[in-house]
Structure formats: structure tokens, C-alpha cells
């Protein structure tokens, strides 16, 4: 029954916070990467179609967009591996803490063996009661050599969280730009909402640094801008950026949850004097 003990040792005391954070992290990263990738492609198409007719004027923009899209692939791979690693750490450290605090009760096993998760190896009543170690138990022991160090995971998670806060702030920029354009279109559609003339209401891509100042036309005004806002490309790109921003926010919440959980586990190990012990 060695496999049973190994399974209990690895799985008992499920870290609810880590599980929720992992699901939230995967969902947030999927939204951010998938929607962000398509939104960048939509932005590139809008610039090419309506704001500049010279390829050299937005060539640099295309290179930047392509670089961000490749970075998105890397972000997706990193968070997939990082989320799995943090989830495994949550399982292992939570089990170790309950081991220390003695929250696991003895479990009776057939064949005259009585083993506990908190105790050492199973006590045997006879030489024939030994059983071969199961593969799952070997896997748990292998993971234990790499996990059980919440202090390291706290530091790494802090660094990743700080970097992600910057990405979260950057993801708000295109939402702000598209929202301003949408508000301008609403003013054009209902002239009574503004005292300015319709021809003076414009969306200028140059003022946001998207295009150089010598780009032509660089901006679209009046009814031409309203026509752009009504296109499916603009509406879809706007909503995709919003979804990417929401995904970035969900990922940030997941990272904060990871960080709080890892900090709590480390604090418990420090209080119990086991922070340097390998479980």
C-alpha cells in the first residue's frame, strides 16, 4: 500500500487558494494573450487603411506589433509552466505544514500496517509486510527535492508580480486610446453634446506616438471618423483590447493570491522553526 501513503502525502490538504489562483491565472493569460494578439493585428489594419497610405510611415509600428506578438507567445508559455509550478508548490507546502502541525490522523491499513502522514515510515508487524514503493510515491519524493522552499517562491512571485503590474498598466493604454476615439465618435453622432464643430472633432494617431508627425493624413475627422467607428474592425478591436485588459487584471489578482499564499506558508514555517527544512 505504499502508493496509498504517497498519494495521501501529496494530495491531502488541497490548497484551495492555489487552485483558484491557477484557474484564474490560466484564464487571465488566455484572455490577455489571445485577445491581445488579435487586437494588435486589428490596430495594424486600421492604421494601414485609414491613417496612413505610406508603408514607410508605419513600418516601425509593424515591427513593434510583431515583437509584441512574439512576446505574447513567450508570456503564455511562461505562465503555463509557472502556474503549474506554483500549484505544485502549494500542494506540497500545505501538506508539509499540516505534517508539522500534526493535523493528519492515523490511517489503518490492511495487512497489520498502521501508518500516519505525520509519522515516519510505516510500522510493520512482520517481515512479510513490506511492499514495493509505488511510482507515485517516487514522483512525490522527486518533487519534494525541488519544492518545499516557499521563501524562494515568494521572491520569484514578487518579482513576476511587479513586472506584470507594468504590463497591466501598458494594457490600459490602448483601451484609453480607443475609448477616447469612441467618445469622439459619440459626440459626432450627437452634435448637441458638444459645442465644437463636427469637422474639428478628430482622432489623431500621431499624438499618441503611433505614427510620426509627418505622416499623412495621420488623423481622421468628422463624418469620416464616425464611419470608421461604425466598422466591425474598430468595434472588434476595441472590445478585444478590453478583454485583454480584463485578462491582465485577472492574472494580476491570481499572482497576488499566489504571493499571499506563499507568504503565509513561509511565515508558518518560520514560526514553527522549519523554514530551512526540506520536506
Mean pLDDT estimate for the chain: 77
DSSP the chain: -HHHHHHHHHHSS--HHHHHHHHHHHHHHHHHHHHHHHHHHHHHHHIIIIIBS-HHHHHHHHHHHHHHHHHHHHHHHHHHHHHHHHHHHHHHHHHHHHHHHT-PPPEEETTTEEE-SSSSSPB-SSGGG--PPPHHHHHHHHHHHH---HHHHHHHHHHHHHHHHHHHHHHHHHHHHHHHHHHHHHHHHSGGG-SS-GGG-EEEGGGGTSS-TT-SB-EEEHHHHHHHHTSHHHHHHHHHHHHHHHHHHHHHHHHHHHHHHHHHHHHHHHHTT-TT---
| Structural contact between residues 93 and 148, judged by C-beta atoms closer than 8 angstroms | yes
What are the distances in angstroms from CA 20 to CA 31, 66, 80, 248? Answer: 17, 33, 15, 16
pLDDT at 132: 47
pLDDT at 38: 92
pLDDT at 74: 92
| Structural contact between residues 155 and 260, judged by C-beta atoms closer than 8 angstroms | no
| Structural contact between residues 202 and 220, judged by C-beta atoms closer than 8 angstroms | yes
Mean pLDDT, residues 203-226 = 86
Mean pLDDT, residues 2-28 = 71
Mean pLDDT, residues 229-244 = 94
pLDDT at 36: 92
pTM of the model: 0.75
Mean pLDDT, residues 242-270 = 86
Share of the chain above pLDDT 90, in %: 31
- At residue 143's C-alpha, the angle toward residues 142 and 149, to 5°, is 125
| Structural contact between residues 264 and 151, judged by C-beta atoms closer than 8 angstroms | no
Mean pLDDT, residues 40-56 = 88
- Confidence band (pLDDT; 50, 70, 90) for 239? very high
What is the tens place of the pLDDT at every residue in 104-124?
443 433 333 333 333 444 444
Question: Which of the two residues, 120 and 26, has the higher pLDDT score?
Answer: 26
pLDDT at 91: 73
Mean pLDDT, residues 252-265 = 85
What is the tens place of the pLDDT at every residue in 175-213?
999 999 999 988 888 876 666 677 788 888 888 888 888
Mean pLDDT, residues 158-172 = 93
Reply yes or no on whether the pLDDT at 13 is more than 80. no
pLDDT at 255: 92
pLDDT at 135: 54
Reply yes or no on whether the pLDDT at 40 is more than 80. yes
pLDDT at 119: 42
Mean pLDDT, residues 146-161 = 74
Question: Which of the two residues, 64 and 8, has the higher pLDDT score?
Answer: 64
Mean pLDDT, residues 242-250 = 95
Amino acid at each position: 500500500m505504499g502508493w496509498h501513503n504517497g498519494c495521501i502525502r501529496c494530495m491531502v490538504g488541497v490548497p484551495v487558494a492555489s487552485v483558484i489562483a491557477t484557474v484564474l491565472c490560466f484564464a487571465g493569460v488566455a484572455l490577455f494573450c489571445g485577445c491581445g494578439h488579435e487586437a494588435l493585428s486589428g490596430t495594424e489594419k486600421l492604421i494601414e487603411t485609414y491613417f496612413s497610405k505610406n508603408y514607410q510611415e508605419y513600418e516601425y509600428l509593424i515591427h513593434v506589433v510583431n515583437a509584441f506578438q512574439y512576446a505574447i507567445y513567450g508570456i503564455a508559455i511562461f505562465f503555463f509552466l509557472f502556474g503549474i509550478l506554483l500549484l505544485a508548490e502549494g500542494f506540497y507546502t500545505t501538506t508539509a505544514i499540516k505534517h508539522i502541525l500534526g493535523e493528519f490522523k492515523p490511517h489503518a491499513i490492511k495487512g497489520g500496517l498502521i501508518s500516519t502522514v505525520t509519522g515516519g515510515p510505516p510500522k510493520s508487524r512482520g517481515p512479510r509486510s513490506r511492499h514495493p514503493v509505488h511510482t507515485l510515491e517516487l514522483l512525490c519524493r522527486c518533487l519534494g527535492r525541488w519544492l518545499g522552499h516557499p521563501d524562494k517562491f515568494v521572491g520569484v512571485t514578487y518579482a513576476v508580480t511587479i513586472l506584470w503590474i507594468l504590463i497591466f498598466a501598458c494594457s490600459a493604454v490602448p483601451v484609453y486610446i480607443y475609448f477616447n476615439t469612441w467618445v469622439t465618435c459619440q459626440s459626432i453622432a450627437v452634435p448637441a453634446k458638444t459645442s465644437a464643430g463636427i469637422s474639428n472633432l478628430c482622432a489623431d494617431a500621431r499624438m499618441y506616438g503611433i505614427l510620426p508627425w509627418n505622416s499623412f493624413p495621420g488623423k481622421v475627422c468628422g463624418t469620416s471618423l464616425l464611419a470608421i467607428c461604425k466598422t466591425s474592425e474598430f468595434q472588434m478591436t476595441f472590445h478585444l483590447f478590453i478583454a485583454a485588459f480584463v485578462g491582465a487584471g485577472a492574472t494580476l489578482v491570481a499572482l497576488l493570491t499566489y504571493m499571499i499564499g506563499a507568504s503565509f506558508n513561509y511565515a508558518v514555517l518560520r514560526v514553527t522553526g522549519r523554514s530551512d527544512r526540506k520536506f
